[in-house]
Amino acid sequence: MAVTPLSLTARALRLLSSREHSRAELERKLVHFEEEPGALAKVLDSLQAKDFINDVRVVESVLHRRSAKLGTQRIKQELQAKGLEPEAVADAVNRLRGTELERAREVWRKKFGTQPADATARGKQMRFLASRGFGGDTIHRVVSGGDED
């Protein structure tokens, strides 16, 4: 018995059932399955018209999943990689900047919890926070213990 290949719509819905995807992400993932030119665009237009593809939900989903662990720069990169509109990315970044210090303190507290004993430990803590996408000023304030609320 032959297995029938999934339609573009079925493939898109399968991807969307696991998490929110932007239109650009779906295009990248489904372009290899497009059999006739323009078919993928029609499917994505239809899904967007039915609100299955919604960039606002994609942004909110990323912020909800990632903001507790990552800094503003790293989240900005993820949003840009998803092919979202620059205005939506800028709005999300502005919202994140207001909580970056608190988020960085919480990430630092979970990982380290105590101030560094020497320069080596200080460098390790700073590199850890930098790898998570937190800004230099925020990292300095968290690791130095300054401005504790």
How far is Cα 112 from Cα 24, in angstroms, rounded to an integer?
Answer: 38
Q: Tally helices (H) and strands (E) across the chain.
A: 9, 0
* Per-residue confidence band for 3, with pLDDT thresholds at 50, 70 and 90: very low
State the average pLDDT for the chain: 92
Q: Where are the domains of the chain?
A: 1-53, 54-98, 100-144
Identify the pLDDT of residue 142: 95
Place of tokens 């998490």: 19
Q: 3-class DSSP state for residue 54?
A: coil
Q: Do the domains spanning 54-98 and 100-144 agree at the CATH topology level?
A: yes
Mean pLDDT of 93-117: 94
CATH code that applies to domain 54-98: 1.10.10
How far is Cα 68 from Cα 6, in angstroms, rounded to an integer?
Answer: 37
CATH code that applies to domain 100-144: 1.10.10
How far is Cα 61 from Cα 75, in angstroms, rounded to an integer?
Answer: 11
Contact (CB, 8 A) for 101 and 88:
no
At 106-136, the pLDDT tens digits run 999 999 999 999 999 999 999 999 999 999 9
CATH topology of domain 1-53: Arc Repressor Mutant, subunit A (1.10.10)
Mean pLDDT of 60-75: 95
Of the candidates 88, 83, 98, the residue with the CA atom closest to the CA atom of residue 138: 98
